Amino acid sequence: APVAPSAAVGAPATVHSPYGQLRPLAALSAERLATGDLVAAAKWGTGGPVDDPAREREVLRAVADQARELGADPAVTVRIFRDQIEASKVVQRGLHRAWEADPGRAPTERPDLGEVRKEINRINGELVRAIAGSPYARSAPYCAPLLTAAAVRVRHERQLDGLHTGALARSLRSVCGGG
């Protein structure tokens, strides 16, 4: 088949390739994890828990609805988002531990959790679209190595530390494997 000129040039034309479909999943997951830093700061010093089961249910219900609207599998979408949520909590708990150990590194300003959640909702919507647009790539036998490559790329681009690199892997745990 003829190759579109831009395919030889680079990234934009690769959006239909398996890697091009998985890359946004890794990038958006890292973007979502970055909001974990803000959520951790919002909860720091409040005495409140990192876990908010009611908010988690709200997120999962919303993404299941969005998946249905896009004709994607709501169960698969929810499965992936359970990992996204766990990964956010890995970041939050890790930061709280670091700030307890070294209070000089703790944030001095408290972000508005409601505002941060608006941003999380926006990213959630983009993630649902990326999930809906990648059924073939996610069920491909070579999904895992491509996803790992995408995560490594994102790690370098965003200069992720160990905490966020581990959380990124956690967030992507059930992306591959079909469905």
Where on the chain is the footprint of ligand ISJ (CB under 6 A)?
Answer: 39, 51-52, 55-56, 59, 84-85, 88-89, 117, 120
| Nearest distance in Å: CB 120, ligand ISJ | 6
Closest CB to ligand ISJ belongs to which residue? 88
Structure tokens at 75: 């169960």
Q: Please say which residue, 58 or 100, places its beta carbon nearer to ligand ISJ.
A: 58
Q: Please say which residue, 124 or 134, places its beta carbon nearer to ligand ISJ.
A: 124
| Nearest distance in Å: CB 116, ligand ISJ | 7
Q: Please say which residue, 56 or 73, places its beta carbon nearer to ligand ISJ.
A: 56
| Nearest distance in Å: CB 139, ligand ISJ | 25
Q: Please say which residue, 26 or 143, places its beta carbon nearer to ligand ISJ.
A: 26
